[in-house]
Amino acid sequence: MRAFQLLCFLLLLIPCSVWSQGGLPQNAGARGAAMGNASATFTDINSAFSNQAGLGFLEHMSFTAYGERRFLADGLNSFLFAGAYPHKKFGTFGLSVNYFGFQGYNEQKVGLAYARKLFKRMSLGVQVDYLGTRIAEYGSAHAVTFELGVLVKITDQFSLGAHTYSPIRIKLPNQDFIPGNIKIGAAYQPGESVVLTAELEKGLDNHPFIGRFGVEYWPVHAFAIRAGVSTDPVLASFGMGVRFKGLYIDVAANYHMVLGFTPTMSLSYVVGEKSKAEPKD
């Protein structure tokens, strides 16, 4: 079983930035996972994982916990937690914690975020990240980097977001550099029940472009259906979500043609939120 875990981990290190680690932002919860992770324009608690500028649009204290089992392999798990507190005068403060791996190899990421609206329709976000890596029998390594994001609601139906992770070259103890990236995304809401998202990502170390596309449909105000696709590698994704007042339960899975399924699940809670009839972009 240990050999199988190692084989799967090596496959994850195929030079595609979507699977490389080094603290790179992961899925924006199960909602993002279901939509191909085209999540740069999210304005809910899931934006803590994809574009911290989205936290500037929060109206209530929010929490989320997320887990995935990559390709259904024992030990190749990711667990994420985030919490955010919006203050009307001072902006939104957030905390996120990520864990990936198994006993023989694991990575941790702790982020402290701050987001603030500059105007009614524009928000900026920044996050300072602590990265830790532990390899059994070899020891641990640590590094610090940061993320920046901006989100603009051009109209009530159309939004643009941009985010960069580790935009300057920061060297790791093994003399490699933290793999930074930049992404630009858009969201279009043609009606109260539908959200369409698209995103383009580029690694800063000559990695190829990655395209992501997602759709979210709320046939009733308490139930959502989602689907998406991403490139390099090609992944198809799908999922659904339910909400009751401030409680959100989201499940999703993506499919790789060679490695198989990755199931995910999120539990989120928005303190003091009442049921709403329209989706959040």
pLDDT per residue as tens digits for the range 243-275? 998 999 999 999 999 989 999 999 999 998 875
- 220 vs 204: CA distance, rounded Å: 41
pLDDT, position 265: 97
pLDDT, position 25: 67
Structural tokens at position 53: 């500028």
Would you identify the CATH topology of the domain 2-270?
A: Porin (2.40.160)
For residue 7, pLDDT over 60 is answered with no
How does residue 11 score in pLDDT terms, banded at 50, 70 and 90? very low
pTM across the whole model: 0.87
Phi/psi region, residue 8 (left: phi>0; alpha: psi -120 to 50; beta: rest), is alpha
How does residue 20 score in pLDDT terms, banded at 50, 70 and 90? very low
- 186 vs 137: CA distance, rounded Å: 45
For range 92-111, the mean pLDDT: 92
pLDDT, position 6: 44
Q: Letter for the amino acid at 143?
A: A
pLDDT, position 16: 32
How does residue 26 score in pLDDT terms, banded at 50, 70 and 90? confident
For residue 44, pLDDT over 90 is answered with yes
pLDDT, position 280: 57
How does residue 19 score in pLDDT terms, banded at 50, 70 and 90? very low
Mean pLDDT over all residues of the chain?
88
For range 12-18, the mean pLDDT: 35
Q: What is the CA radius of gyration of the chain?
A: 18
pLDDT, position 4: 47
pLDDT, position 8: 47
Of 80, 82, 89, the closest CA to residue 61 belongs to 82
- 112 vs 158: CA distance, rounded Å: 28
pLDDT, position 281: 64
